[in-house]
Amino acid sequence: MLIHPDRLFPAEAEARAVARRLYASVRDLPIISPHGHTDPRWYAENEPFPDPATLFVVPDHYIFRMLYSQGVRLEELGISERGGRSSGSDARAIWRRFAAHYHLFRGTPTRLWLDHTFATLFGMTERLSPSTADDYFDRISAALKTPEFRPRALFERFGIEVIATTESPLDPLKYHEAVRQSGWKGRVVTAYRPDPVVDPDFEGFRDNLVRFGEITGCDTTTWKGYLEAHRKRRAFFRGYGATSTDHGHPTARTADLSLSEAEALFRKVSTRDVAPEEAELFRAQMLTEMAAMSLEDKMVMQIHPGSFRNHNEAIFARFGRDMGADIPSRTDYVRALKPLLDRFGNEPDLTIILFTLDETSYSRELAPLAGHYPALKLGPAWWFFDSPEGMRRFREMTTETAGFYNTVGFNDDTRAYLSIPARHDMARRVDCAFLANLVTTHRLDEDEAQEVAHDLAYRLAKEAYKL
């Protein structure tokens, strides 16, 4: 078998039997996917995916970053340079190159996701390798030409109840409008990601502010007009189903400046290059401003700090953002969040979901914070911790302090559409294994574990994100 039915379950027989029962009760629950990077154009146009390489390899930084680390050039994997210049590689050649390096993914979550997808969607029984590469390519290519493998049909086949894409405030959301006009009943919503007009270090920041003003009709040369532009754009996004905002800041730092201080700082960042400390202070102030707006409009706020983005300058210069070179860094939450929490941490009507790439902060900082402040919840998966061992460590390090109910279930952060069911299946298996160990060590009754398994797989995410 390409995938074992007991994968990720405990090796000990009694716990494995409990995990099987728990998993059977949640395996087929609908998928709530409240934050991701799938392309809304897929659902709007519902066109066939072109080929296996374009579907699996080209958009997925989990795949191409690993191959790049072993000396495979990005242009050999079909990655286009800035400006859209094509690499010129053909799809079959890219796929063969991927297959030749499939051994690199041994022991990784990517291998689990891919094997799950290959087996459950395409009926593959042999491992991908140079000898099976062409058979894989031909069989997947043939399937992709059928109506059953178009984006909307897969959405329904996967049992997705709702999926949220992520867009910039400068995005016109035309594909979301196209989905709405199509009459299709699949629920695809957007999420408000204001980084391009919040981060002074974002490329084209000041030009983005000009465009922001043109879109909203607000005077974004003033602090008051700039904040009003955010309010208008957030309202526009809510019209397309948005229930959340998303903030990918380098750190979790927040600030609570006076009005005059905030106005002066905005004049600086909006008119000239500023020192790193001033850019960081502006981002910090904007997290607090976004929290204030979330309290007003009830949108859930997600904070994704701790990533040194585009660490590889040469790759960034040639290929742009999101090329697998966003590297985790040490993150402080206790001191960094205090200005925001002093204002809003005790608000039961505000939901701020914290994510991390620094798992050393789980038990030391994040669990105690979420286990105290009504406004805070923990998001258990993001990037490198979207993995079996990362998920297990998350449960081990946070449950004793924050419990299960100060977390928000599972959140898949994916650009690879076909991996969504595999990621949710993996999360459900890991959680059921964790719960089974609690049952067999007599810390939880099985009927309670059944309820928790359901909550982690479905209810918590749906309720936390107001979906």
- Domains delineated in the chain: 13-49+148-464 (3.20.20.140), 50-147 (1.10.2020.10)
| Single-letter code of the amino acid located at 162 | V
Report which of residues 270 and 36 the model is more confident about. Answer: 270
pLDDT of residue 354: 97
Comparing CA positions, the residue from 291, 289, 307, 310 lying closest to residue 299 is: 291
Torsion of CA 116, 120, 123, 125, to 10 degrees: 30
**23-77 tens-digit pLDDT:** 999 999 999 999 888 999 999 999 999 999 999 998 888 899 999 999 999 989 9
Q: How far apart are CA 236 and CA 251, in angstroms?
A: 28
**376-429 tens-digit pLDDT:** 999 987 766 788 999 999 999 999 999 999 999 998 888 789 999 999 999 999
Q: How far apart are CA 237 and CA 323, in angstroms?
A: 27
pLDDT of residue 37: 85
Average pLDDT, the chain: 95
DSSP letters spanning 268-311: HHHHS---HHHHHHHHHHHHHHHHHHHHHH--EEEE---EETT-
CA distances 459 to 29, 57, 111, 239, 407, Å, are 10, 32, 28, 24, 11
Inform me whether the pLDDT recorded for 155 exceeds 70. Answer: yes
Inform me whether the pLDDT recorded for 86 exceeds 60. Answer: no
pLDDT of residue 383: 67
Report which of residues 210 and 329 the model is more confident about. Answer: 210
**306-361 tens-digit pLDDT:** 988 889 998 888 888 888 888 889 999 999 999 999 999 999 999 999 999 899 99
Q: How far apart are CA 120 and CA 343, in angstroms?
A: 49
Q: What is the pTM of this model?
A: 0.95
Inform me whether the pLDDT recorded for 166 exceeds 70. Answer: yes
pLDDT of residue 88: 57
Residue 150: DSSP 8-state: S
Question: What is the mean pLDDT of the segment spanning 439-462?
Answer: 98
Counts of helices then strands in the chain (DSSP H, E)? 21, 9
Q: How far apart are CA 207 and CA 225, in angstroms?
A: 16
